[in-house]
Homo-oligomer: A and B are copies of this chain.
């Protein structure tokens, strides 16, 4: 179980062991984890070493400690909704709005240097460029341009884009979208954004750039969106 003569640190072995138990569901949210002293005794290691493993898992949000009581598997109640990556459609549904979409253009173009760097591909490599107006309750919510590597995601067609790109990637191609990073900034609408979003030029907009990744850090998609500030707010929760 724990190899003391392994080059892998003991605290790390214990950490992975516990993660496994949690991820396999053998320890569910709220369950008490064996005490630090129990693990120290069981594996004949120092309690400080057990603490080192526990501490990291606490920092990663797997466990929480209560002095005098014990160590418990964390509820992911708060953590999950905050960090969950959603498609536009999922986001709107969660907000109680009816999602909609108008395709403006869909084509394969050579990647610009910016897009290439975001997708970690060669400049001029083929990418799908998908421009859409995103609607909520039939009113424009955002103007969105999405870039996807054509060499990674093959066979994307207009009908698929009108359905759901995420479903195609996850279900048809069986690639697992794992995480995304977003950069959010404020700006004001230019002429194009004003026209498509039906707002005045100079009206506030929220620019969101998003990269999405597979588990192995391969970038899948790069999206630039301009949201109407009068209709869209971004909410997140964070742990101290």
Contacts and interface: CB of A to CB of B under 8 A. Distances in A.
B206 A186 contact: yes
A180 B48 CA distance: 31
Contacts of A81: 181
Given A59-B59, A78-B179, A202-B202, A238 B83 contact: yes
B238 A82 contact: yes
A89 to B, nearest CB: 14
A52 to B, nearest CB: 9
Given A78-B179, A188-B188, A84 B240 contact: yes
Contacts of A85: 238-240
B178 A236 contact: no
Contacts of A187: 186, 204, 229
Contacts of A23: none
A186 B205 contact: yes
A172 interface: no
Given A85-B240, A238-B84, A239-B84, A233 B183 contact: yes
Interface in A182-221: 182-188, 202-206, 212
Interface residues of A, number: 39
Given A186-B186, A229-B185, A239 B178 contact: yes
B182 A238 contact: yes
Contact of A178 (B202, B234, B240): B240
A68 to B, nearest CB: 15
A79, A81, A234: which has the most chain B beta carbons within 10 Å? A234
A8 interface: no
Closest 3 pairs (CB-CB, A-B):
A186-B229, A186-B186, A85-B238
12 contacts: A176-B240, A178-B239, A179-B239, A180-B237, A180-B240, A182-B236, A183-B233, A184-B206, A185-B232, A185-B233, A186-B229, A187-B229
